[in-house]
Amino acid sequence: MAGTNSERELLAEGPVIILVEPQMGENIGMVARAMANFGLAELRLVNPRDGWPNEKAEAAASKADHVIAGVRVFDTLKQAIADLNFVYATTARERDGYKPVRSPVEATQTLRRKFLNNERTGILFGRERWGLTNEEVALADEIVTFPVNPAFASLNIAQAVLLMSYEWMKSGMEDLSAVPFQATGQRPSTKEQLFGLFDHLEEALDARNYFHPAGKKPKMVDNLRAVLSRQAFTEQEISVLRGVISSLDRFSRKSPRGSGRPAKLEEAPDDDSTGE
Concatenated DSSP letters of 240-265: HHHHHHHHHHHS-SSS-TTTSS---T
Q: Which burial class, exposed, middle or buried, applies to 232 when counting CB atoms under 10 A from its CB (0-12, 13-18, 19+)?
A: middle
Q: What is the pLDDT of residues 96-108, one digit of tens each?
A: 667 899 999 999 9
Average pLDDT for 190-212: 86
Q: Residue 232 in 3-state DSSP? A: coil
Average pLDDT for 73-81: 97
Give me the pLDDT at residue 261, please.
Answer: 41
pLDDT surpassing 50 at residue 178:
no
In the chain, the domains with their CATH numbers are: 16-181 (3.40.1280.10), 186-250 (1.10.8)
Q: What is the largest CA-CA distance in the chain?
A: 74
Q: Which burial class, exposed, middle or buried, applies to 158 when counting CB atoms under 10 A from its CB (0-12, 13-18, 19+)?
A: buried
Q: Which burial class, exposed, middle or buried, applies to 204 when counting CB atoms under 10 A from its CB (0-12, 13-18, 19+)?
A: middle
Of 187, 102, 84, nearest to 139 by C-alpha is 84
Give the helix/strand (H/E) hosting 121: strand 121-125
**Global pTM exceeds 0.85:** no
Q: How far is CA 93 from CA 86, 147, 169, 207, 264, in A?
A: 21, 12, 26, 35, 38
pLDDT surpassing 60 at residue 268:
no
Give strand pairing partners of 110. Answer: none
Give me the pLDDT at residue 92, please.
Answer: 73
Per-residue three-class SS string for 124-158 = EECECCCECCHHHHHCCCEEECCCCCCCCCCCCHH
Written as one letter, the residue type at 193 is: Q
Spatial contact of 98 and 157, defined as CB atoms under 8 Å apart = no
Q: What is the pLDDT of residues 15-69, one digit of tens each?
A: 999 999 999 999 999 999 999 999 999 999 999 999 999 999 999 998 899 999 9
